[in-house]
Structure 1
Amino acid sequence: MKTFKPVLTAIALALVTATVASSAVAGDTLLMQRVQQEQSMNLPRKGMSMAEVERRFGQPTAKLDARGGGSRNQPVINRWMYPGYIVYFERSHVIHTVLNTPAGNNTSPANPR
């Protein structure tokens, strides 16, 4: 029986590796689909000013407390919530717009972990 232990360990390791690899591929596919969805939507784009965002997309449902601003290398980040997405500003210009997802990883930015 002792000769089978290394073989069983190798098989178990191969199964775990295959499972992890397939999960990573599935995660990459979901991320790519999400990015494609974001790119096809009419969302605030990088570089837009706060005034421009309000003019084109209306008042946000919430303007969250600013973060950062402690130094020149850590500028103030503002976050505005809209139904279905959050707009992130560095100082007063859009740096990114993120869709709220069922995964729950960005549905409550007011309460960061």
Structure 2
Amino acid sequence: MRGCERAPDDAGDGGFVTAETAVVLPVLVMFATALVWGLLVVAAQIQCVDAARTGARAAARQDPADAVVEIARRAAPDGAEVTVSREPDRVRVAVVARAPVLSGLPFKVREEAVASVEGAGP
């Protein structure tokens, strides 16, 4: 009965799954790490936007410069630099922070907000 015989398993295919896993698994881990880092950078960018806007609103109300910097730093990521500049009719607040997790990279997140000074009418 030749039709009932089973074909022998290919002995040469046994190591392919292990080799493929050894190549694919580190790539997946690196991709997941890059994705998480990217999300952390986006979160830091959003914090910088909020801090710059909050600082610009405080400066537009004519709050003292030290108070504006403190308000902006509370909303900014840890270690962020806050700069306040005043012009006759507007204020500008810039927030610069290092990228989270991989702080050794020369990559910084920066945001700036401008607001009109309250009571600075003609």
Higher Cα radius of gyration: 2
- Per chain length, whose mean CA-contact separation is higher, i.e. which structure has more relative contact order (CA < 8 Å, sep 6+)? 2
TM-score between both structures, scaled by the size of structure 2: 0.37
TM-score between both structures, scaled by the size of structure 1: 0.39
Quick check: which one's helix share is greater? 2
